[in-house]
């Protein structure tokens, strides 16, 4: 069965729940709640990546993450950290995290050096960047992307990136591929739809796949009428996650309980 990453945003401005878990005690409480709901991994992020998000220093990310990681590790949680900063990666690896989830796909060469000799698995996320100089910027953009070209573009990106990372000494067996969703692909909802439909094309790399559609704006557009705010995108999120569940190995979500319950019913009926 697909493994579930439960999202805990230790941020002031995440698009869905900014500020809600900035207090370490509340973040730990939410992480434990997601574990009880059935999360296999808790995915912690201390810097938002939506297009208008604030920049957060490595020092502030470390300060936000450290007490939460320490408490959740004491609760035997498997932990992923969402960061693109090598200094943050180095620090959290010493705390024993299991995955590094990098929305820039290790664009910073120092990140490759930091991760090369660690046991952690690595999520490489693809994103459309307006300029090459933006490759190390973790924030999503608002690109005008052609839906007909997105799948070949993502395939080409991973062909090159995996080759570069292997040449730098990181085994392909440690990699998990995330094609990106929502504004990471483009402002047109059709781009995310096309990428979801083309997920099978990424199986050629022999790596596990991860997707995160949770509460993203393209789902709000697909439901018709006025744009639904993030807190009203639960049913649309669950529909997309169930569709993806037989096509990927990991799903990253805010609402672990809904996905876990739906998967249990689905597999029971499909038995």
Which amino acids are annotated catalytic? 216, 252
**Which is nearest to 182 in space by CA: 104, 127, 238?**
127
Q: Taking each helix axis from N to C terminus, what angle separates 189-197 and 234-245, rounded to the nearest 10 degrees?
A: 30
Q: Where are the alpha helices (DSSP H) in the chain?
A: 24-37, 58-74, 86-94, 109-116, 150-167, 189-197, 217-222, 234-245, 256-270
Contacts with 29 (C-beta within 8 Å, 6 or more apart), sequence order: none
Instruction: Round to whole Å and give the CA distance between 37 and 143.
Output: 36
Q: Which two tokens stand for residue 199?
A: 């997920």
2 sits in the region (left: phi over 0; alpha: psi -120 to 50; else beta) called beta
Please give the torsion angle defined by the CA atoms of residues 143, 244, 160 and 98, in that order, rounded to the nearest 10 degrees: 110
Contacts with 61 (C-beta within 8 Å, 6 or more apart), sequence order: 46, 47, 83, 85, 88
Q: What angle do CA 47, 50, 54 make, to 5 degrees?
A: 50
């Amino acid at each position: 069965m697909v493994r579930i990453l439960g999202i805990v945003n230790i941020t002031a401005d995440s698009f869905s729940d900014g500020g809600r878990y900035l207090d370490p005690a509340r973040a730990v409480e939410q992480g434990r709640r997601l574990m009880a709901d059935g999360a296999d991994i808790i995915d912690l992020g201390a810097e938002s990546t939506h297009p208008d998000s604030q920049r957060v220093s490595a020092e502030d990310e470390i300060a936000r993450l450290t007490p939460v990681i320490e408490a959740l590790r004491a609760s035997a949680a498997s932990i992923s950290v969402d960061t693109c900063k090598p200094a943050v990666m180095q620090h959290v690896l010493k705390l024993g995290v299991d995955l590094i989830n990098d929305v820039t796909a290790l664009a910073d060469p120092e990140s490759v050096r930091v991760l090369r000799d660690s046991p952690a698995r690595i999520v490489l996320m693809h994103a459309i960047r307006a300029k090459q100089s933006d490759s190390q910027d973790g924030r999503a953009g608002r690109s005008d992307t052609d839906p007909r070209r997105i799948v070949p573009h993502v395939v080409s990106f991973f062909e090159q990136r995996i080759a570069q990372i292997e040449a730098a000494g990181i085994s392909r067996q440690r990699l998990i591929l995330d094609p990106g969703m929502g504004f990471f692909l483009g402002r047109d909802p059709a781009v995310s739809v096309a990428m979801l439909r083309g997920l099978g094309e990424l199986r050629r790399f022999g790596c596990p796949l991860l997707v995160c559609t949770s509460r993203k704006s393209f789902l709000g557009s697909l439901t018709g009428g006025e744009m639904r705010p993030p807190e009203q995108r639960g049913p649309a999120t669950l529909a997309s996650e169930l569709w993806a569940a037989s096509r990927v190995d990991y799903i990253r979500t805010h609402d672990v309980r809904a996905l876990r319950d739906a998967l249990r019913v689905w597999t029971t009926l499909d038995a």
